Amino acid sequence: MDVTLPDGAKLTVSEDATALTVAETIGPRLAKAAVAATVGGRLVDLSMPLHDGDEVSIVTLASEDGLEVLRHSSAHVLAEAATRVFPGTKVAIGPAIKDGFYYDFEFPEAVTEEALARFQTEMERSIKEAKPFVREEVSRERALELFEDEPYKAELIRDLPEGETISLYRHGDFVDLCRGPHLPDTGRIPSVRALSIAGAYWRGDSANTMLTRVYGTAFPSRKELDAHLERLEMARQRDHRKLGRELDLFSFHDEGPGFPFFHPKGMRVINALLEYWRAEHRAAGYEEIKTPIILDRALWEQSGHWDNYKDNMYFTRIDEADFAVKPMNCPGGILVYRSAQHSYREFPLRMAELGLVHRHELSGVLHGLFRVRTFTQDDAHIYCLPEQIEDEVVGVIDLVMRMYRTFGFEKVHLELSTRPEKSIGSAEMWEAAERSLAVALERTGLEYSLNPGDGAFYGPKIDFHIEDVMGRTWQCATCQLDFAMPERFDLEYVGVDNQRHRPVMIHRTVLGSIERFLGILIEHYGGAFPAWLAPLQAVVIPVADRHNDYAAEVVAALGVAGVRAEVDDRTESVGRKIRDNEMAKVPYMLVVGDREVEAAAVSLRSRAEGDLGHRERDDAVREVARGAGIPVPVLE
């Protein structure tokens, strides 16, 4: 029989050929590297029998599909290890995920991360034994019989649609309910590591049993695994929760779970961040507004949030009427627009808001500043004419990219998301909106990818994904066209024809959540903020107590120049003070002793450049002020 290869070529194979046969026919190197195959676009085991006319592509670990197969197979080996280390363990699910895999278990006893080494030993034993992964298809009755002592597997089986194929995979004595595919045998796992332990509700529902989730990862080589582990260690060292405590930026308390408390140093960073944000937005033609945190229920019913977002909102009653704490800024901003009549001559109208919002998040998903219950969104809403959409979107893209470059985010991936299955508006409206966003992206010359069907229900959008120094990506900025809100709220403007028309509404954020963005910055910089963002930009270190008065004068001069500075007048040695301030990641240190007092000078040190030597005081103040100054937005 003949099968078709990815390049369109025909390959003749025997009637009993499998995907592995195709790899062996093509060549021994490919057969050795093969881990799975795609047949007719479906990922399958190498042992899958083929049929005449099948389209076959061999999968290796060099591909994303190959990595998924490797990691899914590693999850099964982890499950085998867990049941060996803790007999009586009930297994749940174990999928491959980005950069690794996990498996959920109900252990017969409390399990801590000390068990990871035991899991690792058992996994390595299974890999050394090179146990084949064997697929078996069974009836529903047989599957339930096999898993009668596994309540989570039995539940999954009972939930499967009638008539659906039920497949199992065995390796050695371990059997698991699984669609597959898998590696040919456990010995094909080149490198694997059990990483961490966390809690997870069965099926993500807090009403269900809390299970123990064991995370792991696997890579095509030990070198790649070691590089990944180094990145994880860097991430651990840079964890914003850890650095937030060490640098005295913020804290969390049981009295307000999910609500961050910002300390004076944390507020200095936030205020510097917002000062820069405001400068950029003023330069880009935005006016800033502020809307209330609590608004009437009727507004949220009109916006659709009451019906579609109520579970994530907080509520209160005022004068016997229902009110909600806002989870989003849009409805309040719309009321500002609606408070006056508008003409086409005003457009584009750009209104920005640093709006404090509250969203109810389950306690299990709270994570430092990355997932909180209150945060500040740097929203803006642009009201414009249809013919202004492209220019406004280009302006948003330019603003986002310019601001990201200021923070050192040079790698930004843009994604255009198109009409989802559930949406409002006509096909013509969507086609025009998507075309406008695509044309705007083309005008910028930036590369982007399509994300079909992932737009908002009210319009298409552009999402921006930034990459930090550890190679992780974060979606922060977004630019969305909205045809629903102007209709829901009966927004109008008077056109050139003196008739009333609907404006186009553009939603956009740059930083997204200020709190989350701060967490990203802390980890991106490892706590060593650029001088303009640092909570303490300069410290003046007197050599002895007799130099304290002069040190205070230097601090005063720095303050006049706009530099956040303090005197370190502790009774410690100069060397100790320098080391401590280096650990605190202070950008500039100015040491003053007898020689400096006599010459009205300082000895200047920079975190970035080291010892800069002797400087006259006023020259040093100007140099530090330049280095610590807020970036000035320059529009081309």
Enter the tokens of residue 595. 């020689």
pLDDT for 109 beyond 60: yes
- Residue of 330, 384, 476, 479 marked active site: 330
Residues facing 463 on adjacent strands:
415, 478
Model confidence at 2, pLDDT cuts 50, 70, 90, reads confident
Residues facing 615 on adjacent strands:
602
Tell me the domain boundaries of the chain.
2-60, 65-228, 250-287+342-525, 538-628
Structure confidence at residue 286 (pLDDT): 97
Structure confidence at residue 370 (pLDDT): 95
Active-site residue 594, yes or no? no
Residue with the two structure tokens 């370190």: 568
- Residue of 507, 524, 564, 585 marked active site: 507
The answer to whether the CB of 102 falls within 8 A of the CB of 212 is: no
Our separate counts of H helices and E strands in the chain read 20, 33
CATH superfamily, domain at 538-628: Anticodon-binding domain (3.40.50.800)
pLDDT digits (tens, 9 = 90+) for 257-276: 999 999 999 999 999 999 99
Task: Tally Cβ neighbours within 10 Å of residue 608.
Answer: 10
**Assigned CATH for 2-60:** 3.10.20.30
Helical packing angle, 427-444 and 389-406, nearest 10°: 50
Enter the tokens of residue 114. 């000390």
pLDDT for 634 beyond 70: no
Structure confidence at residue 471 (pLDDT): 87
C-alpha to C-alpha distance for 550 and 572, rounded to whole angstroms: 18
Active-site residue 381, yes or no? yes
Alpha-carbon torsion (19, 20, 24, 29), positive or negative: positive
Cis omega before residue 348 (within 30°)?
yes
Active-site residue 461, yes or no? yes
C-alpha to C-alpha distance for 68 and 530, rounded to whole angstroms: 39
C-alpha to C-alpha distance for 459 and 453, rounded to whole angstroms: 11
- Residue of 381, 402, 516, 605 marked active site: 381
- Residue of 54, 379, 463, 568 marked active site: 379
Active-site residue 330, yes or no? yes
Cβ-in-10-Å burial (0-12, 13-18, 19+) of 344 comes to middle
Residue type at 414 in one-letter notation? L
- Residue of 153, 171, 461, 615 marked active site: 461
Enter the tokens of residue 125. 């034993």
Structure confidence at residue 113 (pLDDT): 92
Structure confidence at residue 413 (pLDDT): 96
Model confidence at 136, pLDDT cuts 50, 70, 90, reads very high
Q: What is the DSSP string of 73-119?
A: HHHHHHHHHHHHHSTTPEE----EETTEEEEEEE-SS---GGGHHHH
**Assigned CATH for 65-228:** 3.30.980.10
Question: 41: alpha, beta or left, given left = phi > 0 and alpha = psi -120 to 50?
Answer: left
Q: What are phi and psi of 106, to 5 degrees?
A: -110, 100
pLDDT for 428 beyond 90: no
The answer to whether the CB of 466 falls within 8 A of the CB of 474 is: yes
- Residue of 377, 388, 480, 537 marked active site: 377
DSSP summary character for residue 291: -
**Assigned CATH for 250-287+342-525:** 3.30.930.10
C-alpha to C-alpha distance for 258 and 252, rounded to whole angstroms: 7
Q: Is 187 helix (H, G, I), strand (E, B) or coil?
A: helix
Enter the tokens of residue 301. 């019913």
Q: Print burial letters for 531-551: b (CB count within 10 Å at least 16), e (below 16).
A: bbbbbbbbbbbbbeeebeebb
pLDDT for 255 beyond 60: yes
C-alpha to C-alpha distance for 441 and 205, rounded to whole angstroms: 40
- Residue of 171, 240, 359, 617 marked active site: 359
The answer to whether the CB of 592 falls within 8 A of the CB of 558 is: no
C-alpha to C-alpha distance for 241 and 518, rounded to whole angstroms: 11
Active-site residue 359, yes or no? yes
- The average confidence (pLDDT) of the chain is 93
Find the mean pLDDT for residues 588-594.
97
Helix (H) or strand (E) holding 204: none
Cis omega before residue 452 (within 30°)?
no
Active-site residue 377, yes or no? yes
pLDDT digits (tens, 9 = 90+) for 155-209: 999 999 888 889 999 999 999 999 999 999 999 999 999 999 999 889 888 789 9
C-alpha to C-alpha distance for 76 and 96, rounded to whole angstroms: 10
